[in-house]
Structure formats: C-alpha cells, structure tokens
Amino acid sequence: MMDEPWWEGRVASDVHCTLREKELKLPTFRAHSPLLKSRRFFVDILTLLSSHCQLCPAARHLAVYLLDHFMDRYNVTTSKQLYTVAVSCLLLASKFEDREDHVPKLEQINSTRILSSQNFTLTKKELLSTELLLLEAFSWNLCLPTPAHFLDYYLLASVSQKDHHCHTWPTTCPRKTKECLKEYAHYFLEVTLQDHIFYKFQPSVVAAACVGASRICLQLSPYWTRDLQRISSYSLEHLSTCIEILLVPLFR
C-alpha cells in the first residue's frame, strides 16, 4: 500500500482514468443466486466483522462484491459454506486493500459473537481452501473497482467557496461543511451495500451519486458543481436515478 492516498497524489487523475477503464470490464450482476434472500444477512455480517477489525471501506466493499458475484455464479448450498465464503471474501479483500496489521486473524474471527452465536468455528484449512477457490473463480484478479475506490477522489471537489445554502447565503465555513458532507457521503456509501440494485450502475456513478445526495441533504446550491462535473465527467442528469434511490429511505 502507498503511504499517500492515491487521490491526493500527483497521478490521481491517471489512477482515476485507469479505474474508470477497469470498471467497464466488470461482469454483469445477474441476481440469479438461489440464496439472494440471505444476502442482506451476510452483508451485515461482513459489515460488522470489518468494523470489528477496523478495515477500510475499500476492503469492506470489495468483500461484498466478491461475495455477491461468487454467489451469482456458483450454487452455495449450506449456511456453513456461505459463512466460510463470506469470511474468506473479507480476508482476501483485507489482504488486497488494507494494511497487513489490519488483516483479521482466525482467532479474532472465531471469537466474535457473530460466528459463535451460530455455533460455527472456521478452521485455517477451510479458509485457505476457500480463498484459493475464490481466487480461481476471479482468475486471480482482485483489482475490481467499487464505489469506495472513487468516493474520496470525488470528495476533493465536493465543497466550493461559491456554494450557497438554500439558494441564498454562502457557506460560512467550507471546512466544516466539507467534514459534514464527507460523513453524509460515507453514510450513503454504506447504504449502497444493502441492496444489489446498485449493481445496475457503474461504481463511479454510485460514488458520484453519494456526493450528489449529500449536497442535496445539506441543501447546497447548486446541487452539482462544475468542479464535480469536471472531476467525475458526470452531469447531474447522469446521476439523478441513482441519487433518487439513495434518498428514498430518508423520505419514507
């Protein structure tokens, strides 16, 4: 891992372009798994485990991506198998995206209430063989862009000195506004894990929509700025459908 986040480096624009190229090659999510009804439960498990192990959002989102697409392609028949696959997805994602000292240990996983409540104990052999199975299923390629890989880059342009509240007065403290907007954006980023409907959109669209939805919640005008359009290459029209889906739970 780099010491400096890529989105703050001199090659940020080039990295962003590469990620945009890679997302065009992502496989289509068909939602064919017979265990799709169990998806939300296992996503919650991955979210809780990643929070317990203090994993970065990119690792969490990659883990869910791996789980979803593996379930979409292969018939996992038992709860124990699905638990093993889910935990293996998290381990692989953390090894690929996070610091080495953040990668969960087997004892740490088995000791969590999540697994012990189900009377499951995973062995090192089970996890290693499942990791290998996953790597082969994804052709040993884990460089798979998710919305979490784009969000921080778009957040760089998320607040401007020219922003207004409610179309009337300028923001008094752009720094505080940006901090608040970042919290909203990461909230929406986690919302996208809860429903596979977001696979309808490219990951960069979802990330940009998280920023757009956050600006709407903060009543910043305009909802989408020229700087955001420049950095993301998306207009508000490109994002409107995804933003609407993100905002629905807030207005029920």
Beta bridge pairs of residue 221: 164
Q: Is the dihedral of CA 239, 240, 245, 250 positive or negative?
A: positive
The count of residues in the chain is: 252
pLDDT in the model for residue 1: 46
Average pLDDT, integer, range 99-123:
79
Question: Structurally, what CATH architecture does the domain formed by 27-137 represent?
Answer: Orthogonal Bundle (1.10)
pLDDT in the model for residue 163: 78
Confidence check: pLDDT of 195 > 70: yes
- In terms of average pLDDT, the best of 20-29, 103-112, 167-176 is 20-29
48 CB-near residues (< 8 Å, 6+ apart)? 112, 114
Q: Measure the CA dihedral 164/165/168/173, to 10°.
A: -60
Which 3 state secondary structure label does DSSP give 170? strand
Average pLDDT, integer, range 161-171:
65
Average pLDDT, integer, range 11-33:
94
**111: confidence class by pLDDT, cuts 50, 70, 90:** confident
Which 3 state secondary structure label does DSSP give 162? coil
Q: 87 phi and psi, to 5 degrees?
A: -65, -40
pLDDT in the model for residue 203: 98
Q: Is the dihedral of CA 183, 186, 190, 195 positive or negative?
A: positive
Confidence check: pLDDT of 145 > 80: yes
pLDDT in the model for residue 234: 97
Asked whether the domain spanning 147-251 has the same topology as the one spanning 27-137, the reply is: yes
Structural domain spans, the chain: 27-137, 147-251
pLDDT in the model for residue 162: 77
d(CA 39, CA 34): 10
**3: confidence class by pLDDT, cuts 50, 70, 90:** low
Mean pLDDT of the chain: 89
Q: Are strands 220-221 and 164-165 parallel, antiparallel or unpaired?
A: antiparallel
**Which comes out higher in pLDDT, residue 18 or 175?**
18
CA-based end-to-end distance of the chain: 41
Which 3 state secondary structure label does DSSP give 182? helix
Q: Is the dihedral of CA 80, 81, 86, 89 positive or negative?
A: positive
**Is the overall model pTM greater than 0.75, yes or no?**
yes
Name the percent of the chain lying above pLDDT 70: 92
Write down the CATH superfamily of domain 147-251.
Answer: Cyclin-like (1.10.472.10)
pLDDT in the model for residue 251: 65
Q: What is the DSSP letter of 168?
A: T
Helices assigned H by DSSP within 53-159 = 57-73, 79-97, 106-110, 113-116, 124-137, 147-155
